[in-house]
Amino acid sequence: MTDIFETVALRASGIGPESPLAATLALRGDILTMTQKAHDAALAPVDPGGLSHGERAALAYRMALLSGEAALSAYYSALLGQVDPQPATARLADPAFDGGGDGRLSAILRHTDLATANVKAVVADDIAALAMAGLSEDDIVRLSELVAFVSYQIRLTIGLRLMGAAAS
Amino acid sequence: MSEPIHAFTATVPNWRPRVAPIRLEDATPDQLAALQVTPSNLKVSDYVLVLARDSETLRDRTPLFNAIMYNRGGLSRAERELGAVGASIVNRCIYCAAVHASRYNQLAKDVTVIERIFADGEAAELNLRQSAIFNFAVKLSKSPPEASAADMAALSAAGLGPEEVLDLILSAALFGWANRLMHTLGDPIEGDGPA
């Protein structure tokens, strides 16, 4: 099993192996390890389809920024720098960048922002808009899984951090 | 074509995909592995057949989901369902709310908690422990999340130990994931049966 304290969520939460919560977390070590595997599948899949590893890291960074999650922002910023530091990819992380007139990017960014910040407002036309912008059905699901996984990871990280603060 | 359902219900609707499910007969070996299709388990829901379009994520998601909701120890299964319902209320995932409300009702043998939540939403008045659990799940599910040290303290004050708190964080966070698939990739429509 992976060292759970090396998983992204626990590192970003600030909880280390010396924490009084270590034994409690070890009871759910399988879940924390599977969470890291899901991270790898969402951020760096063997078959990325039409959503590159760089674009995935940039979108995750953007989501962390939109969620005010500084530690995960720093993590995803570093990941983006490793996998694709090209400005054309890195700009996707800037919440103020709306796609710059590129139809595919505009649709991806609009949907990422909506599903991150106000998922209850997503309707059938929003999925149709992704298809209209040229995303394949496989890529619509890939984008949805990326946004959904990162939303989970952000909440897990914040919850763990609150737990850690209460235990120290 | 049936109109989508917009009101919360504890009767599980059908789910109509907005993205075409893959056809089982066309599935690749990777997709079949992620779908966990075996000769004794040939029935796969449309929802999972949609998710099979990203087989790498699906392969990891299914065991993770089961572990968070059903692993032994820690928070009771009913209270994990209450965490899932809290998230699904915030995100207005009618389908997820119905599935997990009905499971809560079965496990807790009490329909009044869900009735209050469906009637009054985030403001529902519940007993001390239910209220601490539901409120924490609701606040963690906001965008950005709003859960605070005070909400964490309320869980301890209501008697939850660290193992229970960890399971609540996991179940509420997990529905930040599940809601963003179920609510965006399809519509809940009239009918009775699993997605």
pLDDT (0 to 100) of residue B107? 98
Q: With CB atoms and an 8 Å threshold, state whether B179 touches A119.
A: yes
Whether residue B38 has pLDDT greater than 80: no
Report pLDDT digits (tens) over A136-167: 999 999 999 999 999 999 999 999 999 999 99
Residues B175 and B135 in one domain: yes
Structure token pair of residue A101 = 């007139």
- How much is the pLDDT for B5? 95
pLDDT of residue B187: 97
Does residue B191 carry a pLDDT above 80? no
The mean per-residue pLDDT over the stretch B118-129 comes to 97
Of A21, A145, A152, the CB nearest to B54: A145
Task: Compute φ and ψ for A18, nearest 5 degrees.
Answer: -85, -5
**B134 belongs to a structural domain:** yes
Q: ω into residue B144 within 30 of 0, thus cis? A: yes
Q: Which two tokens stand for residue A31?
A: 């879940």
Q: Closest partner residue to A162 among B50, B149, B163, by Cβ?
A: B149
pLDDT above 80 (res A2): no
Show the tokens assigned to A57. Answer: 């890291």
Cβ of B65 under 8 Å from any chain A Cβ? no
Angle, in degrees to the nearest 10, between helices A70-83 and A53-66: 160
Q: How many helices (H) and strands (E) does chain A have?
A: 9, 0
Is pLDDT above 80 for B41? no
- Any chain A CB within 8 A of the CB of B140? yes
The pLDDT assigned to B2 comes to 81
Over residues B116-135, mean pLDDT = 97
Report chain A residues whose CB lies below 8 A from the CB of B149.
Answer: 162, 165-166
> Does residue B24 belong to any structural domain of this protein?
yes
Judgement on whether residues B95 and B20 belong to the same structural domain of the protein: no
Inter-chain touch B187–A124, beta carbons under 8 Å:
yes
Q: B169, A163: Cβ pair inside 8 Å? A: yes
Q: Which domain holds residue A36?
A: 4-167
Residue B28 confidence (pLDDT) above 60: yes
Q: How far is CA A6 from CA A2, A22, A32, A40, A94, in A?
A: 7, 13, 10, 13, 27
Is B80 in the same domain as B176?
yes
Average pLDDT, chain B: 94
**Closest by Cβ to B177, choosing from A34, A124, A152:** A152
Search chain B and give the residue with CA nearest A29. B67
> Which has the minimum average pLDDT: A22-26, A41-45, B32-36?
B32-36
Clarify whether residues B80 and B175 are in a common domain: yes
Q: Confidence band (pLDDT; 50, 70, 90) for A1?
A: very low
**What is the per-residue pLDDT across B147-169, written as a single tens digit (0 to 9) for each?**
999 999 999 999 999 999 999 99
Overall average pLDDT of the A20-47 stretch: 97
Tell me the C-alpha distance between B4 and B164, whole Å: 36
Given CB atoms, is B164 within the 8 Å cutoff of chain A?
no
pLDDT at B175 over 60: yes
pLDDT tens, position by position, B75-111: 999 999 999 999 999 999 999 999 999 999 999 999 9
Same domain, B65 and B146: no
A152 touches chain B (CB under 8 A): yes
3-state secondary structure A39-92: HHHHHCCCCCCCCCHHHHHHHHHHHHHHCCCHHHHHHHHHHHHHHCCCHHHHHH
Rounded Cα–Cα distance for residues B87 and B97 (Å): 8
In 3-state terms chain B splits into helix, strand, coil percentages (rounded to 5) of 65, 5, 30
Say how far apart CA B179 and CA B88 lie, in whole Å.
6
B12: pLDDT strictly greater than 90: yes
Q: What is the CATH number of the domain that holds B166?
A: 1.20.1290.10
Range of the domain at B24: 14-69
- Give yes or no: residues B172 and B83 share one domain: yes
Residues B97 and B151 occupy one common structural domain: yes
Q: Quick one: B87 and B53 in the same domain?
A: no
